[in-house]
Each structure stands twice: as C-alpha cells, then as structure tokens.
Amino acid sequence: YNAKKAKNSPILLSEPVLIAKSNIILDVKPWDDETDMAALEKEVRTIATDGLLWGAAKLVPLAYGIHKLQISCVVEDDKVSVDWLTEEIEKFEDYVQSVDIAAFNKV
C-alpha cells in the first residue's frame, strides 16, 4: 500500500445531480359546450418536448354545460417554460379559449 500514491490519485465522487422539477395542473377552457373535449385533450397531449411528461386529465364542470379540461404534467424547470407550454396549448384556437395554471408545485 502506497500512501503517497493514494493521496495523489483523484477520487471520483458520484454525487446525484438534482433536477428541479415542477408538477403543474392546467385548466384548459374551451369556447363553448359544443367543443369536442376528447379531441382537445388529444391535441394537448401532442405537445411533446424533452423534460415534459403528461399526467392524468379530467373534465371539470364550469357552467351552462361547459366543462374545462384539467390536465397535469411534470416539467423539468431548466428545459420547459410554463409560459411556453401555455402558449403552445393556446395555439389550438379551434378548441381553446384560455389556459390557466390551477396548481404549480416544486417536486
């Protein structure tokens, strides 16, 4: 055993890299009660990028027979901007009137 050699050799420490993530619940509001909500959800789920993982979705009654799509996702903070995500969803103008952030939690 050579103490000098051990002292001079580099020691590689494998520290886990923490990836900042957020759990987001979005409220996607349609134009009216005739909006095809299944098609709306399908369109929203077509948005794909590195660091974005879609979760569960449900329809929540608003008023006058209109339902909003409440959908959850997990994003890596360094890769996906919430502003970008809401803008991408709002591009589906035939279906989407507005997008609101219902919940935003760091994971």
State yes or no: pLDDT of 11 exceeds 90. Answer: no
The residue assigned the tokens 């990836």 is 19
pTM given for the model? 0.82
In a domain, 66, yes or no: yes
Residues 6 or more apart whose CB falls under 8 angstroms from that of 95 comprise 30, 31, 35, 36, 39, 40, 43
Domain range enclosing 82: 21-106
Instruction: Return the pLDDT at 42.
Output: 98
CATH of the domain at 34: 3.30.70.60
In a domain, 40, yes or no: yes
In a domain, 75, yes or no: yes
In a domain, 94, yes or no: yes
CA-closest candidate to residue 55, choices 29, 32, 80, 25: 25
In a domain, 81, yes or no: yes
CA-closest candidate to residue 27, choices 15, 14, 37: 37
pLDDT in tens, 32-88: 999 999 999 999 999 999 999 999 999 999 999 999 999 999 999 999 999 999 999
Q: In total, how many domains does the chain have?
A: 1
Instruction: Return the pLDDT at 17.
Output: 74
